[in-house]
Amino acid sequence: MEFTTSARGRTGLRDADGMAVASFVLGLVGLLVLNIFLGPVVIVLAAMALKRGTERRGRALLGLGLGVADLVVLAVLASADGSLSWTFGG
């Protein structure tokens, strides 16, 4: 029975590590596309990974920063365009 608990703990840690990596990757993608959707998702993923004690704490923190940056980029570009959506060029 102890083995099952140990295996479950390792699975939970792997899940947290996966969330940390996913938050980092989606944060990078969110800088270019879908930042209104990906920004909040990345912030939640990074926070959950940190709360679950991920071994990839640096990636989770980078993901958290990128999630906030996604929303800042959206705010800056949307305010320059005057609408919630933004485009490059014209």
Q: Look at the block and give the residue holding tokens 């920063």.
A: 65
Integer Cα distance of 7 and 53 in angstroms? 16
Q: Give me the pLDDT at residue 8, please.
A: 46
Burial class of residue 41, CB neighbours in 10 A (0-12, 13-18, 19+): middle
57 within 8 A of 17, measured Cβ to Cβ: no
Q: Work out the average pLDDT over 57-85.
A: 87
67 within 8 A of 20, measured Cβ to Cβ: no
Q: What is the model's pTM? A: 0.78
Q: Give me the pLDDT at residue 67, please.
A: 95
Integer Cα distance of 24 and 35 in angstroms? 13
